[in-house]
Structure 1
Amino acid sequence: MPTIVVDVMPKAELLDPQGKATTGALARLGHGKFENVRIGKRFELTVDGPITDEVKKEVRELAEQVLSNSVIEDVVGIDFGDGSAE
């Protein structure tokens, strides 16, 4: 069964409190060369059957309308597992 991966990140202009806390923790652990960490979400959708153009369209709609909050997040990538990524 093919798997589609959708990556969602906070909008660049918004504060990412988890990322900021992680950046501070890395510095305290001696990894201060990393100046900025941003934390997002990854969704893996397993498809029963082939990934058709119709499935791709449905995943794009789900990514924008269900998997992400368009006010504070951007869909930054969709990997259809067939070498085509958006």
Structure 2
Amino acid sequence: MKVQVTVMLKDGVLDPQGEAVRHALGALGFDGVSGVRQGKLIELDVADGTTEDQVREMCEKLLANTVIESYRIDM
């Protein structure tokens, strides 16, 4: 079974990579972009029967730094 976990910086946390992308887009002539937030998508192949609570535990223990990041699980 495939599970996708999307990890993003929480609102209010500085995103230097996103800011660099926004600046680069402006330099390429894409002036309408006022903000960029960059995150990561983690795709897991897990055993059938794996619960959302188990995936949440994976996120809390390893996949996301919950102090500065939030995550969304799509099963």
When the two structures are superposed, what TM-score results if normalisation uses the length of structure 1? 0.80
- In structure 1, list runs of 5 or more residues that go unmatched: 81-86
Number of residues of Structure 1 aligned to a counterpart in Structure 2: 75
Structure 1 stretches of at least 4 aligned residues deviating more than 2 Å after TM superposition: none
C-alpha RMSD of matched pairs (Å)? 1.2
Distance in 1, matches of 2:60 and 2:22, equals 28
Given residue 41 of structure 1, which amino acid in structure 2 is its aligned partner?
K
- How many Å apart are 1:32 and its aligned residue? 1.3
Could you list the per-position Cα deviations for residues 21-78 of structure 1 after superposition, in whole angstroms to 9, with x for gaps in the alignment?
A: 0000001101111110000111100023x2x3x5321101111221001111111x11
Identity of aligned residues (%): 43
When the two structures are superposed, what TM-score results if normalisation uses the length of structure 2? 0.90
Q: Classify the secondary structure of the residue corresponding to 1:74.
A: strand
Equivalent position of 2:6 in the other structure: 7
Distance in 2, matches of 1:62 and 1:28, equals 39
